[in-house]
Structure 1
């Protein structure tokens, strides 16, 4: 029976194999630890907010001040719409405001005169009441004297006539005072019409101002296929403006990595076009959900697949990363990037 003989060469190979396996395990643990504390993903791309630029007033474009793929600055003139019809509207609205203001001035003067007349009629009522009271007192004094023969019948009849005349005068004065008060015209309706006309004027001035279209932010003009002479309609985009003031990286991280991510955490981004130049940013937000492959609804009923996938792959969720002063020459929507989260 052959005996096992110890070989130094074989022992060294076994030791080397064990050491290699141990090193692989240690290296794997280090990699897993690094990935846990510094998650990274190559499933990421650049994006920015876009504005489908449409005018707020309609008209023929008389000048186009930008070209396709041109960088523009905030408040820079992009294009100008024919302003002549809007100038006429401003003039018409201004004329309406001036007319109503003149009517209010005239009406205010008339109201002052009418109020003075109404006050005079009110004084007449007071005088008529005084005359009636005096006539009644005189009649009440003469009636007993007439029955005793101390006053003639003519004096008594005259006192009665004066009382009736005073009553008629008072009634006439009351009617005149009421008519005078009702004749006083209020300027409130004209003032309401003036407020409405002033609102129309402000809107006309706004439309005139909007015929000169300016950039709302720094950006890049794209998809421009319209030239001067084209008719621009309200709400119909003339071109697309990419907001270059804020650039974002959308990084799809596995759900097992989301626990290590927090809003405000610093991030390094490497563009595929220039991978040796890091771009710094911070985590802006973590997506709340994506459409699942299973559990969807079709025709009002849940859709469940008949097959079962035994290999469960971690779902990926978009993480929005705000870039800090990124280089303009690398910023393109859809560009591929690698995202590494800093510890």
Structure 2
């Protein structure tokens, strides 16, 4: 292994390598096929050229056409061999797993000598500078939220206040009371309750400053949309701050 769990890595840094001998042999075999068909194509090209130059005075038209057809068949086989060679080379290159971007390796689930299957997830990478806030706002509060509005974010268990801006609101959420039948017709639940909980709508928030991995992706925070301007908390009393925090929970 080239890295360890939760390590910060650079873009294109090697994370781990898959055993290469099988892929190397496949590439060598594919290259041998390409070399064979290249030589064969050269011979058939010279033969076809010679027969075409002699013309029908020295041989039948059928023999000339047959020679041209053989050449086209060999060229087709050469193209297939080259494609197989290129694919084998790509497979060999992909045995070296590199970081697609700068970020933190997390949930590393592969170790030296372990077998992994094609398509399985062996490691996750959290891209540096990609952190954002996704707030699930009640639909009753959406009237006071607009793209560009300022946001105050308090990570759970912390008194530190982060700042951000509303980037966008989700265009739709799933309606659990309505489905579609096999013919595409709407099926509405006939047992709708009189008192219903407000739907939660995702609101994406852009952070003013990235916090590295101080607050890991997927953790919880309290979000308050303050409108066009930031809330000035420098001169607020302890009681006012407490009231704001209680209000944040509904």
TM-score normalised to structure 1 length: 0.57
What does residue 204 of structure 1 align with?
Answer: 88
State the alpha-carbon separation in 2 of the partners of residues 338 and 306 from structure 1: 31
1:236–1:95 distance in 2 versus 1, CA, 3 Å: same
Alignment check: 8 A CA contact 1:247 1:323 kept: yes
- Measure how far apart 1:182 and its partner are: 4.4
2:177 paired with 1:319: no
The match for 1:181 is 64
For 2:139 and 2:113, the matched residues in 1 are separated by: 53
Deviations 1:178-209 (Å, cap 9, x if unpaired)?
A: 45534543321111111111111110010000
CA distance in 2 between counterparts of 1:299 and 1:188 reads: 54
Aligned in 2, Cα 1:120/1:227: closer, same or farther, shift over 3 Å? same
Asked if 1:65 corresponds to 2:25, the answer is: no
3-state SS of paired residue (2:111)? coil
Partner of 1:93: 30
Pick 1 or 2: higher relative contact order, CA cutoff 8 A, min separation 6: 1
Matched, 1:113 2:50: yes
Question: 5+ unaligned residues in a row in structure 1: which ranges?
Answer: 1-63, 122-175
Q: Moved runs in structure 1, 4+ residues, more than 4 A?
A: 296-302
Among candidates 185, 189, 198, match of residue 303 of structure 1: 189
CA distance in 1 between partners of 2:214 and 2:76 (Å): 58
Please say if residues 76 and 214 of structure 1, whose CA atoms lie closer than 8 Å, have aligned partners that are also in contact.
yes
User: What residue is the counterpart of 1:247 in the other structure?
Assistant: 131
**Aligned 8 A contact 2:152 2:161 in 1:** no
8 Å contact kept, 1:271–1:330? no
Equivalent residue number for residue 270 of structure 1: 154
Residue 117 of structure 1 contacts residue 180 of structure 1 at CA under 8 Å; is this kept in 2? no
- Which residue is 1:193 aligned to? 77
Task: Answer yes or no: is the 8 Å Cα contact 1:284–1:322 preserved in 2.
Answer: no
Contact 1:118 1:180 in 2 (8 A): no
**Alignment equivalent of 2:19, drawn from 82, 92, 95:** 82
1:339 aligns with 2:234: no
SS in 2 for 1:228: coil
- The alignment of Structure 1 onto Structure 2 pairs a total of residues equal to 222
Deviation at residue 71 of structure 1 after TM alignment: 2.3
How much has 1:101 moved relative to structure 2? 0.8
Q: Which has the higher helix share?
A: 1
- Seen in structure 2, the aligned counterparts of structure 1 residues 299 and 194 have a Cα distance that, compared at 3 Å, is closer
Please give the TM-score of this superposition, normalised by the length of structure 2.
Answer: 0.75
1:223 paired with 2:107, answer yes
SS at match of 1:328: coil
